[in-house]
């Protein structure tokens, strides 16, 4: 009986740091640092060949954590990391693919297959039912990664609750000022479709961009939106 009781506690302890109460992302961090470039390109082939079991172990450990026991910033970090890690898992489960839209008849985000703390979720549920309404932070759009070239780059390290504000600000700044994703000038801007799809999240799009842009954009600037490249971010 004692052994049966202690085993679940030990499993949870593997993924929770006793001192800080934060989730242990060390295994996930290793996978990211070894397979994601500074520009966000992902070496899925290497994960498939050499680190598939490690990713699976991290996701199993993550599923044992109850995010409700975490502080607010830690909860958001948990859900962002979960979204990104399960997106990687989705790609390697269907490897080789040229686009995430090659999976599940072009609707991989609606597939319910993610098990976390006794619940089953789709990627869309994590993003649109948990992250967006639960945290009301438009910067998350530059943190969650959909495995496409036009997505904001995948960070090559985990998100952490005690670093989250800095990490989200940095990802927002890097994305907004990268001409691959956004072309900015005072009077005209050509920006990512993310700003069109999630316009309500940003309230005033130009005002939001100006918080991070190196260029001060006129409030009445003409706005155009770039095409979205769904090719895989490898």
Chain Cα centroid distance, residue 82? 7
What pLDDT score does 21 carry?
54
What pLDDT score does 15 carry?
60
- Four-residue CA torsion sign, 78, 44, 51, 115: positive
Mean of the per-residue pLDDT values of the chain: 93
Is the distance from CB of 132 to CB of 140 less than 8 angstroms?
yes
Which residues are CB-contacts of 118 (< 8 A; sequence separation ≥ 6)?
none
What number of other Cβ atoms are within 10 A of residue 17's Cβ? 12
Which residues are CB-contacts of 55 (< 8 A; sequence separation ≥ 6)?
28, 31, 47, 85, 88, 89, 92
What pLDDT score does 19 carry?
38
Residue 232 forms part of a structural domain? no
Residue 231 forms part of a structural domain? no
Q: How far is CA 34 from CA 29, 39, 41, 84, 128, in A?
A: 9, 13, 11, 16, 30
189's tokens: 């801007």
Residue 176 forms part of a structural domain? yes
Chain Cα centroid distance, residue 75? 13
Angle (CA) 171 113 122, round 5°: 45
Cis peptide before 37 (omega within 30 of 0): no
The model's pLDDT over 20-40, given as tens digits with 9 standing for 90+, comes to: 456 999 999 999 999 999 999
The model's pLDDT over 93-145, given as tens digits with 9 standing for 90+, comes to: 999 999 999 999 999 999 999 999 999 999 999 999 999 999 999 999 999 99
Work out the average pLDDT over 73-102.
99
- Four-residue CA torsion sign, 206, 212, 216, 222: negative
Q: Give the range of the structural domain holding residue 211, as residue numbers without chain letter.
A: 2-225
The model's pLDDT over 132-164, given as tens digits with 9 standing for 90+, comes to: 999 999 999 999 999 999 999 999 999 999 999
Would the pLDDT of 5 be above 70? Answer: no
**H helix or E strand, kind and range, residue 77:** helix 72-93
- Four-residue CA torsion sign, 36, 198, 202, 188: positive
Residue 234 forms part of a structural domain? no
Would the pLDDT of 11 be above 90? Answer: no
Residue 141 forms part of a structural domain? yes
Q: How far is CA 141 from CA 80, 137, 205, in A?
A: 10, 9, 13
Number of domains in the chain: 1
Rg of the Cα trace of the chain? 19
What pLDDT score does 16 carry?
59
118's tokens: 């006794």
Residue 131 forms part of a structural domain? yes
**H helix or E strand, kind and range, residue 13:** helix 2-15
Residue 86 forms part of a structural domain? yes
Residue 165 forms part of a structural domain? yes
Which residue is it, tokens 């961090």?
29
Would the pLDDT of 7 be above 50? Answer: no
By three-state DSSP, how is residue 82 classified?
A: helix
Work out the average pLDDT over 194-221.
98
């Amino acid at each position: 009986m004692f052994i049966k009781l202690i085993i679940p506690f030990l499993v949870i302890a593997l993924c929770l740091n006793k001192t800080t109460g934060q989730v242990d992302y060390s295994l996930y961090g290793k996978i990211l640092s070894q397979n994601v470039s500074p520009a966000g390109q992902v070496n899925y082939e290497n994960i498939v060949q050499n680190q598939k079991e490690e990713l699976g172990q991290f996701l199993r450990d993550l599923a044992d954590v109850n995010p409700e026991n975490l502080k607010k910033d830690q909860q958001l970090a948990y859900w962002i990391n979960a979204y990104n890690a399960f997106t990687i898992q989705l790609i390697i489960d269907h490897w080789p693919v040229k686009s995430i839209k090659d999976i599940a008849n072009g609707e991989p985000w609606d597939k319910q297959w993610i098990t976390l703390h006794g619940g089953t979720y789709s990627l869309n549920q994590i993003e649109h039912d948990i992250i967006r309404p639960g945290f009301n932070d438009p910067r998350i759009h530059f943190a969650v990664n959909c495995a496409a070239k036009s997505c904001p780059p995948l960070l090559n390290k985990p998100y952490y609750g005690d670093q989250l504000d800095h990490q989200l600000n940095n990802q927002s700044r890097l994305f907004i000022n990268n001409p691959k994703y956004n072309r900015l000038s005072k009077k005209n801007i050509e920006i990512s479709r993310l700003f069109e799809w999630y316009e309500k999240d940003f309230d005033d799009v130009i005002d939001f961009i100006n918080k991070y842009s190196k260029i001060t954009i006129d409030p009445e600037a003409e706005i155009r939106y770039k095409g979205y490249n769904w090719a895989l971010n490898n």
